[in-house]
Amino acid sequence: MTTWQALILGLVQGITEFLPISSSGHLVILQRLWHISGNELLFITFLHLGTVLAVVWALRREVKALIHRPLSWNALMIYAALVPTAVIGWAFEDWFEGLFKSGMTIGFEFVITGIILWWLDSVNVKGKRLEDMTLKDSLWIGTLQGAAILPALSRSGLTIAGGLWRGLDRDAAGRFSFLLSIPAILGATVVELDDLFEHPAAQSSIAWTQILVGTAAAVVAGYISVKGTLWLIRRSKMRVFAIYVWIVAAFILADQLFFHHWFPSLLK
């Protein structure tokens, strides 16, 4: 991996983690297009930490309130949402990891993400605030976040859709999705660190210069992405992303069906 590739991967991670177009799906695509080899687990771990820093800074007022009031209703809703996410991640960890490595299903997953994004703009918002959430709302959103462990299902897209489906207003759905991403990404990072301790060789495959460049890029791009996505959600501008992910899906599926250059064939 070159420093320029690390920079671009960091930018892509930061932008796509919060825009509803799937960060992991885009990282898989770039790694395959560039034929990046070697163990990049430490690099991916630092990119995730960069996106956590970005969302914490972008929503620092809400994060500060949660820290000062860890048993507030908003905090309890986040804790509750993490339960189904953790259960799904634990139960299907090996399956999800296999799909991520193979890249076999990401074309279909991008199609599903696009359908969800197209639907988002047509939702008749009921206007519930975060303080009006119920346990059922929280568990439903957390379940969708668990499903978004699949490589090209957008975590932010699914959780925002879940919030709107349960009656949250657009701003509340976006903010809850991003606040929920903080412990979710940190939890995934802990798992990655555990894997690093079990496989020490993974720590030396990419230079620290590249890791730091990618992380810095993820922080800056992630901050801009959080602010921009909240603006777009409030103005019902998600369908442009639906069209984008469908174009990406068409590219991947065409390669899987006809060209067989980057992605595993669907005809085997």
| Position 197, amino acid | F
- Is 267 inside any structural domain? no
Look at residue 111 in the predicted model and tell me its pLDDT. 95
Look at residue 208 in the predicted model and tell me its pLDDT. 85
- Is 153 inside any structural domain? yes
Tokens of 176: 């809850």
In angstroms, the Cα distances linking 267 to 104, 108, 248, 250, 264 are 11, 15, 20, 16, 9
- Is 192 inside any structural domain? yes
How far apart CA 48 and CA 44 sit, in angstroms, is: 6
DSSP code for 103:
-
- Is 210 inside any structural domain? yes
Look at residue 144 in the predicted model and tell me its pLDDT. 95
Look at residue 201 in the predicted model and tell me its pLDDT. 55
Please give the tally of structural domains in the chain: 1
Tokens of 260: 């067989």
The boundaries of the domain holding residue 14 are 3-259
174-226: per-residue pLDDT in tens? 999 999 999 988 887 887 777 666 665 555 567 889 999 999 999 999 999 99
pTM, entire model = 0.88
Look at residue 37 in the predicted model and tell me its pLDDT. 58
What lies within 8 Å, CB to CB, of 177 at 6+ separation is 141, 155, 156, 159, 160, 163
72-122: per-residue pLDDT in tens? 999 999 999 999 999 998 888 788 777 777 778 899 999 999 999 999 888
Does residue 64 carry a pLDDT above 80?
yes
- Section 42-70 average pLDDT: 93
Look at residue 205 in the predicted model and tell me its pLDDT. 64
In angstroms, the Cα distances linking 172 to 8, 74, 88, 94, 126 are 31, 11, 24, 33, 11
Q: Comparing C-alpha atoms, which of 138, 136, 162, 135 is closest to residue 148?
A: 162
Q: Give alpha helix (H) positions in the chain.
A: 3-18, 23-33, 41-58, 60-68, 73-91, 93-102, 106-120, 135-147, 155-165, 170-198, 208-234, 239-254
125-140: per-residue pLDDT in tens? 778 999 999 999 999 9
8-28: per-residue pLDDT in tens? 999 999 999 899 898 888 888
Residue 212 CB neighbour total at 10 angstroms: 15
- Is 241 inside any structural domain? yes
| Position 95, amino acid | W
- Is 264 inside any structural domain? no
Look at residue 70 in the predicted model and tell me its pLDDT. 94
Look at residue 212 in the predicted model and tell me its pLDDT. 94
Look at residue 39 in the predicted model and tell me its pLDDT. 56
Q: Half-sphere exposure of residue 48, counting CA atoms within 13 Å on the CB side?
A: 20
- Is 221 inside any structural domain? yes
Look at residue 142 in the predicted model and tell me its pLDDT. 96
**Exposed / middle / buried, residue 200 (Cβ in 10 Å: 0-12, 13-18, 19+):** exposed
Look at residue 199 in the predicted model and tell me its pLDDT. 62
- Is 266 inside any structural domain? no
Q: Comparing C-alpha atoms, which of 36, 93, 25 is closest to residue 246?
A: 25
* Average predicted confidence (pLDDT) for the chain: 88
